[in-house]
Structure 1
Amino acid sequence: RELAPEVIIVVAYGKLLPKAVLDIPPHGCINVHGSLLPRWRGAAPIQWAVIAGDEMAGVTTMQMAEGLDTGDMLLTYETKVGEKETAGELFDRLAQSGAELLTQTLVKLDEITPRPQDDAQSCYAHMLDKQMAVIDWSKSAHEIDCLIRGLNPWPIALTTLSGERLKVFAAEKAAGNGEPGTVLEADPKKGLTVACGEGALKLTEIQLVGGKRMKATDFLRGHAIEVGTKLN
């Protein structure tokens, strides 16, 4: 109150501001949120957009209310999610776009008509944790690929190979089918392909826990994996 701010800006702050603070600035408190609200309210909107396979992601500036990301929307920036884009890469892009959108919002603040959110269209992006990182090979290749990209750079998707934890940093869809989690191909030249519940994935960048992160083709030069081996 002593500072008498005209407006308060909040970015990537993990707590709710109390009404006593929200009421201080005459132009309100403005939040820069990394999603196309009302979709993905909450702590990890960018990661969940990738995990869910959303075609579009973005940034929204909004007038803060007492609820979690429930305030009226001001401006929105929308962008297509790259086919191989990780959550970390999308985060970096949206951080820049969010800064630009915030500038536009402040410049045009008196001209913008706030738009209420449709609560019926909302969904919640809860914080990521290591428990959700374990790959369920019974899911489709598309779902698993989205999970791998959405959990990169943290906590990183993982599976188990011969009793050892194997981190999967990157993969791509591949031809083939079989029992979910079964190795269909393990060749230093052709790579490491694993069957999914629907389709197959070629793991392209992996790391045994305690080892080095490397391309799967390089990994296979020093670690023989038999076709038919089961990952779980």
Structure 2
Amino acid sequence: MRIVYMGTPDFSVAPLQALYDAGYEIPLVVTRPDQARDRGKKTKPTPVKALALELGLPVLSPETMKGAWDGGDQEEFWKALQEAKPDCIVVAAYGQILPKNVLDLPKYGCINIHASLLPRWRGAAPIQRSILEGDQETGVTIMYMAEKLDAGDMLAKVTTPTAGKTAGGLHDELSQLGAKLLIDTLPALFDGTVKAEPQDESLVTYAAMVFKKDGLVDFSKDPQAIEWQIRGLSPWPGAYTFYQGQQMKLLEASMEDKATGKADGTLAAVEKDRIVFAAGGKSLVVTRIQMPGKKAMPVSEYLKGNKLEVGTLCTNQAE
């Protein structure tokens, strides 16, 4: 079977490698254009392009697919896609909506690897949102692609617990799980035995993009929600507060269901290997931090050469 693969970031690398290792013919890989990656404005290929070139696979990076079939400036891409004669198009975090003409091209359709248990968390940041909202489990869904975002019929799912995992760690795990699920699902797709399940629209939630401002900790919230925030926004943008005007990143934490008697946001205790903030009428226990100009480190290591003052009220902005 001939499979055209479309993907861009690190999440998309494992499924492409899995297709290649499984022996599928990959006549074309489609990814986003090279982007400037540093202050010198030098460009680097996307992770998917880098792997495709390493594997000797043809790569195209259209700026857009709009107009690709009606004489627009992407006509060359549309011609190459037709000449690839895909039996199926596999998409994983490509970064563009596919037009109907592309969706209708392959015999077995276009399928997408989505990092959530649909219909929960359609959209841009499903991994982060699953942790931020305290979901007990998440996973990967493989579904047919439709013109509406992440709304196609579901073909297969795999689940994994979220407890104790950061968004970064879960990202890597789901990429690998998605790659395996893809290889397990394709035979049923091609022999016609796959069972497609429509999504229940009443259960749909949307995973909005994550921004840097989302990392600012609100100590009036329950400390469990703050712990989810710390894990859900790691490694980017990171959860943070301001201690004496300096940004303090909170990297590892847990909650204790006891009051400190202090105002929310107050550094209530500094101990050998942890610091305690008053939060939501309870205690947020932090064991790993990062201060400006310093590497991330356990609180115990930071306290060997630095002081943190009990009673300091952390704020939501630099002084």
* TM-score category of the 2 structures, normalised to the smaller one: over 0.9
**Aligned-residue offset at 1:175:** 5.1
Counterpart mapping for 1:60-99 below 5 A: 60-82=141-163, 84-99=164-179
Aligned twin of 1:104: 184
For 1:2, what is the secondary structure of its paired residue? helix
Q: Which moved more, 1:5-14 or 1:214-223?
A: 214-223
In structure 2, the partner of 1:182 is: 266
Deviation (angstroms), 1:94? 1.1
Shift, 1:174, TM fit: 3.0
Greater Cα shift, 171-180 or 206-215:
171-180
Query: Is the aligned partner of 1:25 residue 2:106?
Result: yes
How far apart, CA to CA, are the structure 2 residues paired with 1:87 and 1:190?
24
Question: How many Å apart are 1:33 and its aligned residue?
Answer: 0.2
**Would you say how many aligned residue pairs link Structure 1 and Structure 2?**
230
The equivalent of 1:205 in structure 2 is 288
Aligned residue in 2 for 1:35: 116
Q: Residue 224 of structure 1 aligns to a residue in which SS?
A: coil
Match of 1:229 in 2: 312
Q: Could you state the TM-score of these two structures normalised by the residue count of structure 2?
A: 0.70
Question: C-alpha offsets along residues 141-165 of structure 1, whole Å, 9 cap, x if unaligned?
Answer: 1000000000001111110000111
Task: Report the Cα offset of residue 38 of structure 1.
Answer: 0.4
Which runs of structure 2 are paired with 1:127-206 in the superposition (5 Å)? 127-174=209-256, 176-177=258-259, 178-187=262-271, 189-206=272-289
Q: Is the contact made by 2:265 and 2:313 (CA closer than 8 Å) also made in structure 1? A: yes
Structure 2 residues not aligned, in runs of 5+: 1-81
Aligned partner of 2:194: which letter?
I
The Cα shift of 1:190 comes to 4.1
Which digits, 9 at most, give the CA deviation of each residue in 1:101-152, with x for residues without a partner?
1111101112112111111211111111101110000000100000000000
List structure 1 runs of 4+ shifted beyond 4 angstroms.
Answer: none
SS in 2 for 1:107: helix
Q: Matched residues in 2 for 1:225 and 1:176: separation?
A: 22
| Separation (CA, whole Å) in 2 of partners of 1:209 and 1:93 | 30
2:273–2:287 contact (8 Å) kept in structure 1: no
Contact 2:273 2:298 (8 Å CA) reproduced: no
Residue identity matched to 1:62: M
- The amino acid that maps onto 1:183 is L
Q: Deviations over 1:3-37 (max 9, x none)?
A: 11000000011211010100000110000000000
Query: How large is the Cα RMSD of the aligned pairs?
Result: 1.2
Query: 2:97 aligns to what?
Result: 16
Q: CA deviation at 1:57?
A: 0.4
- Higher relative contact order (Cα pairs below 8 Å, separated by 6+ residues): 1
Cα distance in 2 for residues equivalent to 1:184 and 1:217: 16
TM-score (norm 1): 0.95
Q: Is the 8 A contact 1:164 1:208 kept in 2?
A: yes
Q: Which runs of 5+ in 1 are unaligned?
A: none
Larger Rg: 2
